[in-house]
Amino acid sequence: MSTTPTFGQRLREATGRLGPLCAGIDPHRALVESWGLAYDLDGLRAFTRACVEAFGGHVAVVKPQSAFFEVFGSAGVAVLEEAVRDLRAAGTLVLVDAKRGDIGTTMDAYAEAFLGKDAVDAPDAVTVSPYLGYGSLRPAIDLAEQTGRGVFVLALTSNPEGPEVQHAVRDGRSVAGTVVAGATADNATAAARGELGHVGLVVGATVGTAVQDLGLDLAAVNGALLAPGVGAQGGTAEDLKRVFGDALSNVLPASSREVLGAGPDVVALRDRAARTSEAMAALLS
């Protein structure tokens, strides 16, 4: 039996040590330029290095948005890979927000790219999209378990268009309900050991009563619940308690804009992240 810590164990350890915050690295044009940087490869590199220096070893989880690096081509992806490597070396878990999803050999390749044992500068986890069917994610889910990594599956998002797909019902169960059921089943072995599973969900902090309306049991998932929308996007303590209920202890609140607004000064970024993490912990208590 392997003694390598699972993703769930590593996540519990990191958040216990550094707090619950998942800090984003979102170098979109407006934010990069607000830091006084040019929106080019050098600006991307400077922005990312400041975030890595500020967050590495000080924040439990960092979530780079892959698209903002991919827009600069292979050189931008190289900046992302360097950030992943440096953050992990500093003791911070990295969740690449890539939202990959496909079928067959294409999904196999996505899984190997982000989660495989030979992946280049592989992160600790990746976001995936289940809207070709939860079963289409099997290559990523299984490979993540084998390599001690995690996946975060989109379940209930707060964008206005989300409900038309996620709330749709077939054979008495919503699409979101199918995703929740799949994650619950995949985390069952970890649950039996009293550990957090390797399959997390993305559930917006501002989805209102959707969890109750759809009859979802998020506590039974026994996985981390990435919660965008807290802080600057309006999510409050009341929102978190309404949305997550008994699963509140598994919530991983995500904040990008609120923290990154303190840049470009590294010390200011680090201080803002620390204060935000403390505020998130208070919201979850």
Active site residues: 99
Q: Does residue 240 contact residue 231 with C-beta atoms inside 8 Å? A: no
Q: Does residue 143 contact residue 110 with C-beta atoms inside 8 Å? A: no
Rounded CA separation 251/100 (Å): 22
Angle at 274 between CA 269 and CA 276, to 5 degrees: 95
- CA terminus-to-terminus distance, the chain: 36
Rounded CA separation 285/201 (Å): 20
Q: Would you state the structure tokens that stand for residue 34, as one six-digit string?
A: 């607000």
Nearest to 189 by CA among 8, 14, 4: 8
Give the count of beta carbons closer than 10 Å to the beta carbon of residue 38.
11
Buried (b) or exposed (e) across 217-244, using 16+ Cβ within 10 A? ebebbbbbbbbbbbbebebeeebbebbb
Write the CB contacts of 225 (distance below 8 Å, at least 6 apart in sequence). 200, 201, 202, 203, 218, 244, 247, 250, 251, 252
Rounded CA separation 124/46 (Å): 23
